[in-house]
Amino acid sequence: MKKLIFTGLTAAILCSACSSQKTETAETATTTEMTQVQKEAQAFLDQYSAQYQDLYTKSAEAEWASNTKIVEGDSTNAVATRRANEAFAAFTGSVENINTAKAMLEKKDQLTPLQAKQFEAILYTGANNPQTIPDVVKARIKAETEQTEKLYGFNYRIFEKSVSTNEIDNILKNETDLKKRLAAWNASKEVGPGLKKGLLNLRDLRNKTVQSLGYDDYFTYQASDYGMTREEMMTLMKQINEELRPLYRELHTYARYELAKKYGQKEVPDFLPAHWLPNRWGQDWSAMVNVEGIDLDAALKPKGAEWQVKQAERFYTSLGFDPLPESFYTKSSLYPLPANANYKKNNHASAWHMDLDKDVRSLMSVEPNAEWYETTHHELGHVYYYMTYTNPDVPVLLRGGANRAYHEAIGSLMGLAAMQKPFLAELKLIDKNVQTDEVQTLLKEALSYVTFIPFAAGVMSEWEHDFYAKNLSADELNKRWWELTKKYQGMVPPANRGENYLDAATKTHINDDAAQYYDYAMSYVILFQLHDHIAKNILKQDPHATNYYGSKEVGNFLRDIMYPGASADWRQMLKEKTGEELSARAMIDYFQPLMDYLKEQNKGRKYTL
């Protein structure tokens, strides 16, 4: 999955339907109708926002350098990043700023709603950087920078040969020799042990940081960004898991038997060996299925990596969005480093809003294949979200998604839309008259979207919950990880994995995007709600076979959601736009036709979940 490094955003694009979503502007806040309290509040917000934006930009630039040029033994970028982040933390967490925000919120009934939201944002950010404990905040920033360098500077090796994570992923997707698969899977986990000490230190520092402002723990702090308690968030994750469990159970049974056949194994295991699955963490099994008549890898290879990025941009402009700024192409890091490069870069795709204004970038390693084709559409979804809520109606402090999951939902929605058959035919990536097995297409999609839910809502969310909220013991970290993968994913390690390993830490988010992985589970639920509405109510098309390309009405619908950024109430937004509360209903409906097929395939087979 792809997670944006910073939440913030660019390009004021207005539409006729935006009026209902428009909020008060900073200009409105200076009119003579404002009370004295509101004028005082606005004066502080204007001053704070200007300094916030400046320090945020410097921090983003330093982080960008640290993520795009990692030189072993060279601490130049790490030192610069630490200094920039410390300056940002000192400002946002200053006692004066926190106390002013608290005092203003005591007069909340005298503030405009937009002002109140900004003060709440100041307090939320301040809680992660409180200068009541400056030494702890500095230590956390230093530890995070060091952890990032260890994670992304790691040299992966198979049989003593250095390999990239792209190469490991390709082996897990395509290799049928179980010994070679095991070697690749083991190689992918070798980064874990070296991250254990740093992660335990980060756990303590992150918890101490937010506890100073009254949060129980870091997981509680992150969940509060949704207006939810830790318990409410975990209840929601359990609900999503339970709603999709019947379908996942069928997919799990199907995969056990099909993979055993593929690898020539007479005995079908009760639980899936982790190295059998085509993903390092078992979160995406879609490579198991090739839909006859659709070979995107073959169609994309001659087009090259740059075509994919440019085509993703054309998708958005076809919906009525502006072209990307030229600086996106000159400043982004979009393609793999040359083999002879004397430095490394972060190998995880991400989108960046560098200055909460016009500077938008993406960090990717695009290759001409189906996975990166989908990823480019996803990452540009983040970028266009940035560009859309960077407008005069959204203050700097509220240039984020309606919630964190919305950002991922928009990206994933566009990734899904870009993979549907009518759209692929529009791009001549497949013959428009090609006959394909629609059940196999749906199965491939389910092996991507449905298999992800137990990992995101179950394994990742529960492990991080236990790690931060329950202070999971250092000698039970790997044990708990594999207990959860067995419980939720029905997946087990190839061999015993003791506490000398830390397989959870091989997932990048555990290190640098902590205690937020439920964002992705929620984003998939929102994605299918949005897609269901677009297909049925705007395009009047089958949700399984849509073509968004060129639809300005779809563009307007999405722009209405994206335009107000974090100034909108996310629950109200979802209800207004789709007519329902957050629910897995649309996702379940979408995959319902697959259930009969799977039950037929699984007749006589042993269910183990």
Question: In the predicted model, is pLDDT for residue 9 greater than 60?
Answer: no
Residue 432's pLDDT is: 87
User: CA-based angle 332:365:164, to the nearest 5?
Assistant: 140
Give the chain's length: 609
Question: In the predicted model, is pLDDT for residue 85 greater than 60?
Answer: yes
- pLDDT band of residue 291 (cuts 50, 70, 90) is confident
Three-state SS sequence of 482-502: HHHHHHHHCEECCCCCCCCCC
Residue in 313, 538, 334, 541 with CA at minimum distance from that of residue 418: 313
Average pLDDT over residues 228-252: 97
Residue 374's pLDDT is: 94
Question: Does residue 239 contact residue 453 with C-beta atoms inside 8 Å?
Answer: no
CB neighbours of residue 268 within 10 Å: 15
Give dist(CA 204, CA 224) in Å, integer: 19
Average pLDDT over residues 458-465: 98
Question: In the predicted model, is pLDDT for residue 23 greater than 90?
Answer: no
Question: In the predicted model, is pLDDT for residue 346 greater than 90?
Answer: no
Residue 20's pLDDT is: 33
Residues 92-114: pLDDT tens digits?
999 999 999 999 999 999 999 99
Average pLDDT over residues 141-160: 93
Question: In the predicted model, is pLDDT for residue 30 greater than 80?
Answer: no
Residue 22's pLDDT is: 37
pLDDT: which is higher, 7 or 541: 541
Question: In the predicted model, is pLDDT for residue 7 greater than 50?
Answer: no
The amino acid occupying position 559 is R
Average pLDDT over residues 130-140: 96
Indicate the average pLDDT of the chain: 93
Residues 413-452: pLDDT tens digits?
999 999 999 999 999 999 988 888 899 999 999 999 999 9
Question: In the predicted model, is pLDDT for residue 321 greater than 90?
Answer: yes
Strands 161-162 and 157-158: antiparallel
Give dist(CA 215, CA 237) in Å, integer: 21
What is 16-154+191-601's CATH number, 3.40.50.150, 2.160.10.10, 1.10.1370.30, 1.10.10.10? 1.10.1370.30
Question: In the predicted model, is pLDDT for residue 290 greater than 50?
Answer: yes
**pTM score, two decimals?**
0.89
Can you list the alpha helix ranges (DSSP code H) found in 563-605? 570-578, 585-601
Hey, is 446 helix, strand or coil?
A: helix
Handedness of CA 337, 407, 520, 63 (dihedral sign): positive
- Residues of the chain with pLDDT > 70: what percent? 95
The residues facing 344 across adjacent strands are: 70
- Residues of the chain with pLDDT > 90: what percent? 88
Distance, CA of 143 to chain centre: 22
Residue 18's pLDDT is: 35
- pLDDT band of residue 15 (cuts 50, 70, 90) is very low
pLDDT: which is higher, 536 or 75: 536
Each domain of the chain, given as residue ranges in start order, spans 16-154+191-601
